[in-house]
Amino acid sequence: MNHYKLQMRRGILEEYSIKMKKVTELTSKAMAKSLNIEENCFLKQFGERAQHQARFNYYSRCQRPDLVLGLKPHSDGSGYTIILMDAEGLQVLKDEQWFTVPKISEALLVLMGDQMEIMTNGIFKSPVHRVVTSKEKERISVAVFYSPEVNKEIGPEDGLINEETPRLFKKLQAIKGNILKRLPG
Ligand SMILES: O=C(O)CCC(=O)C(=O)O
Ligand SMILES: [Fe+2]
């Protein structure tokens, strides 16, 4: 890759990161509003130095999609994850069944991670998900894992705990690199 192309790609990534910061601010506020709690409460838990880690996933075409998965079942250890994809292939597990996430053009997918499940006291679930392969099409996705700043203490929002819905999680400390929690098997 020549120098000019490299510079250009860096520029695009930098711009994407800056825009992602805005997206996570808006999304965190919108999620709090939807739960009727103080709009900045999740942003406060994520902290001013919240982590944004981007991962590029490339899934090549596969002759035996019935035998080969692109990504094994897991839930994300992030707060939440923002996914940009160029094709279908991502599936989420609900009621022991796999559902394909539709690809909506220009749309970003917000996928809850384990830490947001904790902060919402279990109201927003961190789904087990996987990626299937395809015979016809390769696939690329960009996942931005948005997580609380390192060493930040997180826990269920007080506003979501009451007599009917008791606290489900203890307070925890956010740690670095807790991106994938793989399930056994
Ligand atoms: O490729 C995708 O759509 C999902 C990727 C994913 O689940 C991950 O990177 O943790
Ligand atoms: Fe994931």
Contacts (Cβ under 8 Å, ≥6 apart) of 82? 20, 23, 24, 27, 108, 109, 110, 111, 143, 144, 146
Task: Determine the distance separating the centroid of ligand 2 and the alpha carbon of 4, expressed in angstroms.
Answer: 33
pLDDT in tens, 119-148: 999 999 999 999 999 999 999 999 999 999
For residue 91, the ligand closest to its alpha carbon is: 1
End-to-end C-alpha distance for the chain, whole angstroms: 40
Query: How many A from CA of 168 to the centre of ligand 1?
Result: 27
Q: Take atom 6 of ligand 1 and give the residue whose Cα is closest.
A: 143
Answer yes or no: is pLDDT of 182 > 60.
no
Its ipTM equals 0.99
> Alpha-carbon distance 58 to 72, whole Å?
14
What mean pLDDT value characterizes the chain? Answer: 90
Residue 166 has what pLDDT?
Answer: 95
Ligand nearest to the CA of 55: 1
Q: How far is the CA of 66 from the centre of ligand 2 (A)?
A: 20
Q: Whose atoms come closest to the Cα of 90: which ligand?
A: 1
Q: Copy the structure tokens of residue 10.
A: 């860096």
Instruction: Quote the pLDDT of residue 184.
Output: 45
Which pLDDT belongs to residue 185? Answer: 41
Q: Tell how strand 139-147 and strand 51-59 pair up.
A: antiparallel
| 159 C-alpha to ligand 2 centroid (Å) | 28
Q: In this predicted structure, which of 35-39, 104-108, 112-116, 181-185 has the lowest mean pLDDT?
A: 181-185
- Percent of the chain scoring above 70 in pLDDT: 90
Residue-wise pLDDT for 35-72, tens only, equals: 999 999 999 999 999 999 999 999 999 999 999 999 99
Residue 118's nearest CA partner among 83, 147, 140 is 147
Ligand 1 within 6 A of CB of 57: yes
With the most atoms of ligand 1 within 8 angstroms of its CB, the residue from 81, 84, 91, 181 to mutate is 81
The first and second tokens of residue 51, run together, are: 């982590």
107/165 Cα distance (integer angstroms): 33
pLDDT at 2: 61
Question: pTM of the entire structure?
Answer: 0.90
